[in-house]
């Protein structure tokens, strides 16, 4: 039997808009932290392309206390050039995120932002409000 997934948690990579990164780079960062690999299940790059990260049949490492029954999706960006939290995602990223979240809502999954479970600003917007409008 597969794991029960009842929630999607949206994150940001906390990278500047000038940084075009994806699964490869985030995987390296997480390995350097001593993790078994990328903690997110999906990454949405600046160009709107969604890349698979950790397989969804495996528990993620993206939101302490919430990983067992959730999927983590990470938007690349989230800080400005000064390193301050900022909603700076491209329109292509928002389109991809919207389609992704619609499919998750159809499956009946709760949609949350990392900032609901952490003192971090990540992903720098109110995810439940965003999801309620799609």
Going from the N-terminus, what domains does the chain have, and what CATH number goes with each? 7-127 (3.40.80.10)
Q: How many Cα atoms occupy the beta-carbon half-sphere of 54 within 13 Å? A: 25
pLDDT tens sequence across 39-72: 999 999 999 999 999 999 999 999 999 999 999 9
CA distance 121 to 116: 9
Nearest-angstrom CA–CA distance, 48 and 55: 20
pTM: 0.95
Residues classed as catalytic: 11, 40, 114, 120, 122
Q: Is 72 helix (H, G, I), strand (E, B) or coil?
A: strand
At 2, the pLDDT band (50, 70, 90 cuts) reads confident
* HSE (side-chain half, CA atoms, 13 Å) at 21: 21
């Amino acid at each position: 039997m597969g794991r029960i997934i009842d929630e999607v948690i949206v994150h940001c990579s906390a990278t500047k808009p000038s940084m075009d990164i994806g699964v490869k780079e985030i995987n390296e960062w997480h390995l350097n932290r001593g993790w078994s690999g990328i903690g997110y299940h999906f990454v949405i790059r600046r160009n709107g392309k969604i890349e698979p990260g950790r397989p969804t049949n495996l528990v993620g490492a993206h939101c302490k206390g919430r990983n067992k029954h959730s999927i983590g999706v990470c938007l690349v960006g989230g800080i400005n050039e000064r390193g301050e939290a900022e909603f700076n995602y491209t329109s292509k990223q928002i389109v991809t995120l919207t389609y992704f979240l619609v499919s998750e809502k159809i499956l009946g999954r709760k949609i949350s932002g990392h900032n609901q479970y952490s003192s971090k600003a990540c992903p720098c917007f109110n995810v439940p409000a965003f999801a309620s409008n799609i």
